[in-house]
Structure 1
Amino acid sequence: MREKRTRLGQTLRASALCTGVFLCLFTGSVHANSQLEGVSDEIARQQSQLAAHNKKLNALQRDLKAQSKRIDTLSRRIRQAQASLQETDTDITQLTRQQARLKQEMIAQQAQLGELIDAQYRQGKHDQLKRLLSQESPATLDRLTRYAEIVAGTMQQTIESLAATRTDYQLTAHQLKQQRDKQTQLVAELTDKKRELETEQNAQSQTAKQIRAKIASDSAYLAELKANKQRLQEQIAEAARRAQVNMAGISDAKGKLTWPAQGKLLHRFGERQSGEVTWNGIVIDAKRGTEVKATHAGKVVLSSWLRGYGLLIAVDHGKGDMSLYGYNQALLKDVGDTVTAGEPIALVGDSGGQSTPSLYFEIRRKGNTTNPVPWLD
């Protein structure tokens, strides 16, 4: 009997132990599931924040692109208006000189006409009658008559010349007025466009600041740099594939290439940008609006806005050699244009979202970047 009670007690203890273990396992499982759910919620929250961040960043980049294109258009129109104004100023200078010369001619012709009229008056018909009555020789009379005819003919020519000079003077005065009106209009147009340009540049600067704030963290900046480089690689590869450039390349021009702009180097080839990402080209400090020169003869194969590089132009020199120019304020050449060494192809700016105006310059040979400095003169 006592043995039965002992076995019953052992059974009850074993049952209680199993129940305790089960309860512990159940509680632990619930707690683990709760932690997993918390982690999943956190991941979902972070993914949502990242999506919202990227959406805002993409929207800012679209704004930057639109602003850069408007600045590009305004800059090219200002450049055209300035060229037209310079031509107009030259025309005005030439017309002013021509007008002064015509005025002097009129004064001289009027003086000559006055002298001829005076001579004809003094010679008058009554003088000829007196000479006839004085019985002068026929030879003398004939000579006097021819003199009178010469005076009359010269006077007629002088009158006609004076009339023609006055007509030229009036035409020149009319042309001068037209050119001065054009000059006034161009100056007003330039003033308006420069004001518009300043407004767009201020808006671009604010957008660029917002973009820099969005990628302020090292990881975000690194991700943006990698994505921008990938975009550039794809664009260059596509441009090279489409282009049919039959030129000799730059192999024989090492150390002779034209500098695209003058200024100190802000960044050198191979310097670290962020993390493992390094500069594939150089960045030259230059004043906004400075002309960017083609470093070697070639054909434009890319002329557009590219995220991270702003308004970018690429020139294919043949044999797989290519030069790239970024951060521009305006692009002066279109795809398909042929350029010569030293020819202006763009204007320096900060369209890549840079904090200061500068020029990004890169050389690629068969798709690979190379240090541009040893190639430049």
Structure 2
Amino acid sequence: MIKHLTKTFRASALCTGALLCLCVSQSVYASGDNQLDGVKHELSRQQDQLQDKQKRYVALQNELKQRELTIANATKKIHQAENKLKALIASIAKLNQEQQNLQQQRLGQQEMLRELINTQYRQGEDSQLANLLSGEDSHTLDRYTVYAERISKARIDALTALSAIDTELQLKKHELAQQRQQQQALISELQAENEKRTKEQTKRKRTLAGIKGQMSNDRSYINELKVNERRLIKEIAKAKLEAERAARQAPMDGLAKHRGKLPWPVKGSVLHNYGTKQQGELRWKGMVINKASGSKVNAVYPGKVIFADWLRGYGLMLAIDHGKGDMTFYGYNQTLLKKVGDNVQANEAIALVGDSGGQEQSGLYFEIRRKGTPTNPRTWLKK
């Protein structure tokens, strides 16, 4: 009986234990499923956040591009207006001088006319009749007659010249008034464009602050630099094709014979040298020269413009093909003065120094590539 009860108890205990194990297992599995769902949800949330962040970053970069292009357009208009204003000021100064000369000529003609009138008055209207009655010989009388005629002709010529001077003087005054009106219009245009540029520069600063906020760490910045470099290489590949096509039409001699002889694109201290550390394992492929915003950037050698546009990381950039696979690049500009297809000469202004591409200070990014490979630009420039 006892043995039977014992067996019955053991069987009951085993059943209870099995039921407990089954309940615990189901509870553990349920808990695990919940945790897995939570992990999946968190991953999905973080992925959405990352995508939103990337979209925001791209939007900020596009906004930066538009801001800098607007600034570039305003700067170009200001540059053109300033050049027109200089020419106009010189023209006005010339007109003023011409006006003064004409006034002096007028005074001279008036004085001459006064003398002629006095001479004719002293001779008298009836002098020829008086001479005839005086019994002078015919030779003397002829001389008096010629003298009187000459005085009369000189008087008429003086009056004609005075009238011509007066007419020219009036024309100069009218031209001067028109040019002064143009000068005032240009000054107003300059003020408006300067205000527009100042507003855009303020907005650009806010955009840059937003971009920096998106850069969470150095790795993000390094990745951005790598992407920017790939963009440059892509554009270089396009530029090479254009350069090869242009070379077939008008071959150029390249830079090979001019190492150490090229003029500097701008004069200034070097902020970053070729080959020095940029960020992480990345190194500078060109050099950055410190220069005030708005300064002229000059081509270092004759060539043809094969790229002139905004490029992320480099801002407003211009590339010139010099032939034989040699190209020079000028980045960070405030505005470009040349367009694709333009031929340029050494020391010709091609752009104005700036801080485009999101730079924190103004300067020029200058790079030389030979057959697509960067080379130290400093070894090509005059010492």
For the aligned pair, the TM-score class normalised by the smaller chain equals over 0.9
User: Partners in 2 of 1:25 and 1:254 — Cα distance?
Assistant: 80
**What does 1:96-135 align with in structure 2 at a 5 Å threshold?**
96-135=96-135
Give the superposition deviation at 1:271.
Answer: 2.6
- Equivalence for 2:299: 294
Give the superposition deviation at 1:228.
Answer: 1.4
Does the alignment pair 1:320 with 2:316? no
**What does 1:43-122 align with in structure 2 at a 5 Å threshold?**
43-122=43-122
Equivalent pairs, count: 377
User: Partners in 2 of 1:294 and 1:174 — Cα distance?
Assistant: 41
CA offset digits 1:279-316 (Å, max 9, x no partner): 22211111111111112222111111111111111112
Specify which of 331, 351, 356 is matched with residue 361 of structure 2. 356
User: Partners in 2 of 1:21 and 1:370 — Cα distance?
Assistant: 74
Give the superposition deviation at 1:18.
Answer: 6.3
User: Partners in 2 of 1:322 and 1:32 — Cα distance?
Assistant: 62
Unaligned runs of 5+ in 1: none
Select between 157-166 and 14-23 the one with higher mean Cα deviation: 14-23
CA offset digits 1:101-152 (Å, max 9, x no partner): 1111111111111111111111123333222222112211111111111111
Specify which of 285, 292, 296 is matched with residue 290 of structure 2. 285
Does the CA contact (< 8 Å) of 1:245 and 1:317 recur in 2?
A: no
Does the alignment pair 1:152 with 2:152? yes
Structure 1 residues 197, 143: CA separation in 2 closer, same or farther (over 3 Å shift)?
same
- Equivalence for 2:246: 245
Normalising by structure 2, we get a TM-score of 0.91
- Equivalence for 1:230: 230
Unaligned runs of 5+ in 2: none
Aligned AA (1:78):
I
Give the superposition deviation at 1:163.
Answer: 1.0
Structure 1 residues 128, 257: CA separation in 2 closer, same or farther (over 3 Å shift)?
same
User: Partners in 2 of 1:71 and 1:190 — Cα distance?
Assistant: 13
Aligned AA (1:268):
N
Alignment RMSD, CA only?
A: 2.2
Does the CA contact (< 8 Å) of 1:215 and 1:224 recur in 2?
A: no
Structure 1 residues 328, 137: CA separation in 2 closer, same or farther (over 3 Å shift)?
same
Give the superposition deviation at 1:4.
Answer: 8.1
Aligned AA (2:380):
W
Does the CA contact (< 8 Å) of 1:92 and 1:179 recur in 2?
A: yes
Normalising by structure 1, we get a TM-score of 0.92
Give the superposition deviation at 1:33.
Answer: 3.7
User: Partners in 1 of 2:279 and 2:33 — Cα distance?
Assistant: 39
User: Partners in 1 of 2:292 and 2:140 — Cα distance?
Assistant: 83
- Equivalence for 1:207: 207
- Equivalence for 1:269: 274
Aligned AA (1:370):
T
Give the 3-state SS of the residue equivalent to 2:106 in structure 1.
helix
Q: Percent identity?
A: 42
Give the superposition deviation at 1:8.
Answer: 7.5
User: Partners in 2 of 1:8 and 1:251 — Cα distance?
Assistant: 104
Structure 1 residues 256, 5: CA separation in 2 closer, same or farther (over 3 Å shift)?
farther
Does the CA contact (< 8 Å) of 1:78 and 1:190 recur in 2?
A: yes
- Equivalence for 1:374: 379
Structure 1 residues 374, 22: CA separation in 2 closer, same or farther (over 3 Å shift)?
farther
Give the 3-state SS of the residue equivalent to 2:149 in structure 1.
helix
Structure 1 residues 248, 22: CA separation in 2 closer, same or farther (over 3 Å shift)?
farther
Give the superposition deviation at 1:157.
Answer: 1.0
User: Partners in 2 of 1:152 and 1:356 — Cα distance?
Assistant: 77
Give the superposition deviation at 1:39.
Answer: 2.8
User: Partners in 1 of 2:306 and 2:37 — Cα distance?
Assistant: 53
User: Partners in 1 of 2:26 and 2:38 — Cα distance?
Assistant: 18
Structure 1 residues 155, 74: CA separation in 2 closer, same or farther (over 3 Å shift)?
same
Structure 1 residues 245, 8: CA separation in 2 closer, same or farther (over 3 Å shift)?
farther
User: Partners in 2 of 1:330 and 1:212 — Cα distance?
Assistant: 24
Select between 5-14 and 302-311 the one with higher mean Cα deviation: 5-14
Select between 30-39 and 80-89 the one with higher mean Cα deviation: 30-39
User: Partners in 2 of 1:196 and 1:239 — Cα distance?
Assistant: 33
User: Partners in 2 of 1:177 and 1:194 — Cα distance?
Assistant: 26
Aligned AA (1:250):
L
User: Partners in 2 of 1:235 and 1:22 — Cα distance?
Assistant: 66
CA offset digits 1:17-56 (Å, max 9, x no partner): 7666666655554444444333322221221111111111
- Equivalence for 2:347: 342
User: Partners in 2 of 1:123 and 1:143 — Cα distance?
Assistant: 13
Aligned AA (1:37):
D
Structure 1 residues 62, 131: CA separation in 2 closer, same or farther (over 3 Å shift)?
same
- Equivalence for 2:162: 162
Structure 1 residues 372, 144: CA separation in 2 closer, same or farther (over 3 Å shift)?
same
Give the 3-state SS of the residue equivalent to 2:340 in structure 1.
coil
Give the superposition deviation at 1:242.
Answer: 3.1
Does the alignment pair 1:303 with 2:308? yes
